[in-house]
Amino acid sequence: MSIAKGFALGVALLFAPSDVQGAEQAPSDVGGRSALHNSFVALTTRQALTIAVIGNSVTAGGALVDGRSLSFWQVAADWFRARFPAADVRVERGIIFAIGPEVQVFRFEDKVLAVRPDLVIAEFAAANGAWGEAGRAVTEPAAEGWVRRLRFHLPDADCLLNFALFQTMMDDHRAGRVPPAVAFLQAVGAAYGCAVADSQAEIARRILAGDPWDRYMSDAIHPSPDGYAVHGEVVTATLEREWRSFAALPEDRRIVHHHALPTATLVAQPWQFVRFAPPWLASDLEGFRLARGGRHGAIEAGAGGASGVFDAGCGRIVGWYRHSPGIQALLEVSADGGPWTAMPLDHEPRFTEQDDPEHYLQRQFFAAYGLPQTIHRLAFRVAAGDLPAGAVARIAGFFVVERPVGEVAVP
């Protein structure tokens, strides 16, 4: 049973920081040192830096200007290479084209924990929080949850967070407020000793100063080439500040420090993320049972190998399936010991062109790239009719469960 924690996001770019508001602000202060202290120790002592990038579609994008990528994590990597030309700077990308911290956990174990990075560059999907209380209910426990897991498992790893602008956040900016989702993510950065590059604030400032929206944004959330350039300016300014803080330290203080794991949490129950392997690698997945309830079912803990991992109060469920060439069944069901039968899901939102054109197109995009798609529902409907009483389900693809549990060591 493969276990992964938390989540995750992307960050970094280039361009001169001189026009960025706040470029002269104080660097992050983590016990009197830069939030990127350990990264600079790695670069100046062993001349190597491993960066894990985790994020969504904003992280994946980035225009080419004169053959140079403006993707902000690429700009950050280029900054490190230019500042430390003798260093070996390696980047592991865990980018996935979807919105939400609960999605990024899909790559958290193999793209972050497994490579043991010196630095994690993350794009928090603050757009979730821009969708009101329901969005914040996803963003806040998931965001804090994955940063806690990072601190728990890799206390020496630094973390740099970048926030992207979403169109509805402009209402807060016009009213002189920090968008609530961004305010919470800034609090996460402060509580867990992360460096923060708040690119969304700089883009919003320029739009409020009179620049048109479409100069910096290509749609409601994705930057235009000029928008990516602003991300680069903000990230570069952040790196410059953190470097000045480190460079001012005496030599005897340039040693690796552990990042503390706060005892108190910002939300009542930060999510812990658990990921299971496919069924051909983990037979204990057959412990799930479907509760009968007309055409509606809910996953309950069975008496099989899943016992002790799930309970009746488990958190939201995210199912993964791949398109190759069609939709591969997420669930397979067996009644009374009979053969396993694929059960296609009729879930919300529906991925049909008639019912939901936007999500239908998104599905086609995912299919083209062979990427997993998510189902954000604890309850689901089975399109093939009522399930037999006592039917046992097994997972036909990756399966992610987020459980609001305490801080525990997980093998």
**pLDDT digits 0-9 by tens, 240-254:** 999 999 999 998 889
pLDDT for residue 238 is more than 60: yes
Is the pLDDT at 188 greater than 70? The verdict is yes
Between 301 and 95, residue with greater pLDDT = 95
Given a cut of 70, is residue 346 above it in pLDDT?
no
Which pLDDT belongs to residue 358? 38
Residue 228 pLDDT: 92
pLDDT single digits (tens) 66-75: 666 678 899 9
Place of tokens 């209910």: 137
Give the pLDDT mean for 51-62: 80
How much of the chain, in percent, has pLDDT values that exceed 70? Answer: 48
Query: Domain limits of the chain?
Result: 17-253, 277-403
Q: In the CATH hierarchy, which fold is given to the domain comprising 17-253?
A: Rossmann fold (3.40.50)
| pLDDT over 70 (residue 37) | yes
Rounded to an integer, the average pLDDT of 6-15 is: 25
For residue 331, give the nearest of 266, 371, 383, 270 by alpha carbon: 383
Mean pLDDT of the chain: 63
Q: How far apart are the first and last CA of the chain?
A: 10
| The most confident of 10-14, 93-97, 285-289, by mean pLDDT | 93-97
Gap between the Cα atoms of 69 and 190, Å rounded: 30
Residue 216, Cβ density class (10 Å: 0-12 exposed, 13-18 middle, ≥19 buried): buried
Q: What is the SS3 string spanning 39-97?
A: HHHHHHHCCEEEEEEEECHHHHCCCEECCEECCHHHHHHHHHHHHCCCCEEEEEEEECC
The reported pLDDT for the residue numbered 129 is 54
Q: Examine the pLDDT at 187 and tell me if it is beyond 50.
A: yes
Q: How far, rounded to the nearest angstrom, does the alpha carbon of residue 296 sit from its chain's CA centroid?
A: 30
User: What does the pLDDT read at residue 333?
Assistant: 38
Task: Indicate the pLDDT class of residue 148, thresholds 50, 70 and 90.
Answer: confident
More confident residue, 293 or 248: 248
Show the DSSP H helices in 194-309 as ranges: 199-208, 213-216, 225-247
Top-ranked range on mean pLDDT: pick from 80-89, 306-315, 382-391: 80-89
Please check the confidence at residue 180 and state whether its pLDDT lies above 80: yes
pLDDT at 140: 79
Across 107-116, 214-223, 308-317, 329-338, the highest mean pLDDT is recorded for 214-223
Q: Which residue has the tokens 């600079």?
A: 40
Closest CA to 218 of 16, 12, 58: 58
- Mean pLDDT value of segment 31-41: 85
Q: What is the pLDDT of residue 134?
A: 56
pLDDT higher than threshold 60 for residue 47: yes
